[in-house]
């Protein structure tokens, strides 16, 4: 046996500082989240709270616009058009994920239980929000308008793919044309635009021209709020794809079971809640279980104390109703690549 074998230095171990560690846990951009949450408190107030059980359907009511015949004379016996209303049902989707830590697995580990739990929570919520963002973008795509009154000199609305394409030659007027087309469809004022992240390259180029520059293009950006999303992708024939809507055109409702809201404990299980750690205005339901388990196969022990959490939320996506066939308040625009 070699001399001093018992005192040979083993591998040097150190923890990465947080700025280094954060690269592993970097988050996506959730532009569609922001679009659906913009002004949500004014859209369908208190409807989520009315729902009392997972099995309960949720219905919304709305008024439809009447279109009376405009005449050219007065009458003692007018024949008015009778107004009407409509109904739209909400579809709820549950998003849930489980995480676990144990006492003995981390008592002999470089990373202790609290550090492991924080990492598991971050990864779980990232996965959940990624799935929600993907669903929101899919909703925008499947519910985009098939009716667009935009002028032909700016582009020709593609009724097959329900997109208003703008040519590469008109790149410098892309957002000018978007605002103009939206006004032609009777949407003026502030606009929300959920876009692929690559659209930012155009924003930076055009807003950096300077107010006194003859090629200043910043005038296009006054009324559009950009919401980049990693879940919006483009095909080879487009540089930018934008889903554009006026405020309060789309909304997301959140719901958790009353059992979690009121809080209950039964044996080794507890029903509770937690706030969204990413800063979105949602409360998530939590089912917590603490029990004895054999974790020897994953770095623990045969008689370990484990904790398991299932974190979940129900979300319903909706849009402002319109009575014209195939018309919605969601417009899709594209900047063609060539």
The model's pLDDT over 174-209, given as tens digits with 9 standing for 90+, comes to: 999 999 999 999 998 999 999 999 999 988 877 776
Answer whether residue 212 shows pLDDT above 70: no
Mean pLDDT of all residues in 20-35: 90
Please tell me the distance from the alpha carbon of residue 52 to that of residue 219, in angstroms, as a whole number.
Answer: 49
Average pLDDT, the chain: 89
Those residues whose C-beta lies under 8 Å from the C-beta of residue 272, and which sit 6 or more positions away, are 260, 263, 285, 286, 288
Residues 142-175 have pLDDT tens digits of 999 999 999 989 999 999 999 999 999 999 899 9
* Mean pLDDT of all residues in 197-226: 75
Long-range residue pairs from 294-301, CB within 8 A, at least 24 positions apart, any chain: 295/102, 295/104, 295/105, 298/105, 299/105, 299/109, 300/102, 300/104, 300/105, 301/104, 301/105
Give pLDDT tens digits for 78-117: 988 888 898 888 899 999 999 999 988 888 788 888 888 9
Q: For strands 224-229 and 191-196, give the pairing.
A: parallel
Lowest-confidence region among 5-14, 110-119, 242-251: 5-14
Sequential DSSP letters for 184-213: HTT--S-EEEEEEGGGHHHHHHHHTS-TTS
Q: Are 68 and 80 in contact (CB under 8 A)?
A: yes
Q: State residue 51's pLDDT score.
A: 83
pLDDT at position 16, please? 67
Confidence at residue 270, expressed as pLDDT on a 0 to 100 scale = 94
Report pLDDT for 40: 82
Domain annotation for the chain: domains and CATH numbers: 152-251+324-336 (3.30.2320.10), 253-318 (no CATH)
Contact 195, 240 (CB under 8 A): yes
Label residue 130 by pLDDT band (50, 70, 90): very high
Identify the three-state secondary structure at position 338: coil
Is-contact 286 272, C-beta < 8 A?
yes
Give me Rg for the CA atoms of the chain. Answer: 27
Exposed e or buried b per residue across 122-153, where buried means at least 16 C-beta atoms within 10 angstroms of its C-beta: bebbbebbeebbbbbbebbeebbbeebebeee
237 pairs with which residues across the strands?
Answer: none
Confidence at 330, pLDDT banded by 50, 70, 90: very high
For the whole model, what pTM was predicted? 0.89
Q: What is the mean pLDDT of residues 4-33?
A: 75
Helices (H), the chain: 18-21, 31-37, 47-50, 103-107, 113-142, 174-184, 200-207, 258-262
Q: Is the pLDDT of residue 237 over 90?
A: yes
Residue 315, pLDDT > 80, answer yes
Average of per-residue pLDDT across 60-83: 88
- What is the distance between the alpha carbons of residues 286 and 81, in angstroms, rounded to a whole number? 52
């Amino acid at each position: 046996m070699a001399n001093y074998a018992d005192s040979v230095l083993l591998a040097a171990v150190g923890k990465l500082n947080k700025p280094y560690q954060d690269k592993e846990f970097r988050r996506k951009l959730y532009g569609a989240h922001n679009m659906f949450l913009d002004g949500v408190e004014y859209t369908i107030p208190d409807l989520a709270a009315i729902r009392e059980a997972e099995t309960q359907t949720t219905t919304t009511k709305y008024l439809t616009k009447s279109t009376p015949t405009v005449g050219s004379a007065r009458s003692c016996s007018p024949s008015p058009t009778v107004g009407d209303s409509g109904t739209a049902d909400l579809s709820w989707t549950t998003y849930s994920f489980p995480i676990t830590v144990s006492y003995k697995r981390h008592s002999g580990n470089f990373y202790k239980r609290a550090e492991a739990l924080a990492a598991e929570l971050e990864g779980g919520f990232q996965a959940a929000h990624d799935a929600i963002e993907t669903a929101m973008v899919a909703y925008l795509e499947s519910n985009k308008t098939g009716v667009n009154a935009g002028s032909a000199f700016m582009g020709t609305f593609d009724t097959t793919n329900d997109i208003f394409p703008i040519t590469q030659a008109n790149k410098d007027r892309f957002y000018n044309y978007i605002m103009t087309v939206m006004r032609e469809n009777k949407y003026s004022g502030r606009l929300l635009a959920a876009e692929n992240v690559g659209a930012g390259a155009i924003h930076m180029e055009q807003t950096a021209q300077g107010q006194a520059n003859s090629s200043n293009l910043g005038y296009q950006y006054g009324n559009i709020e950009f919401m980049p999303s990693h879940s919006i992708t483009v095909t080879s024939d487009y540089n930018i794809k934008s889903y554009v809507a006026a405020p309060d055109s789309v909304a997301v409702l959140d719901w958790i079971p009353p059992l979690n809201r009121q809080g209950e404990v039964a044996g080794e299980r507890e029903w509770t809640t937690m706030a969204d750690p990413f800063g979105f205005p949602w409360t998530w339901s939590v089912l917590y279980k603490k029990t004895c388990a054999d974790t020897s196969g994953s770095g623990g022990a045969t008689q370990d104390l484990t904790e398991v959490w299932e974190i979940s939320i129900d979300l319903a996506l909706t849009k402002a109703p319109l009575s014209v066939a195939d018309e919605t308040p969601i417009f899709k625009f594209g900047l063609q690549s060539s």
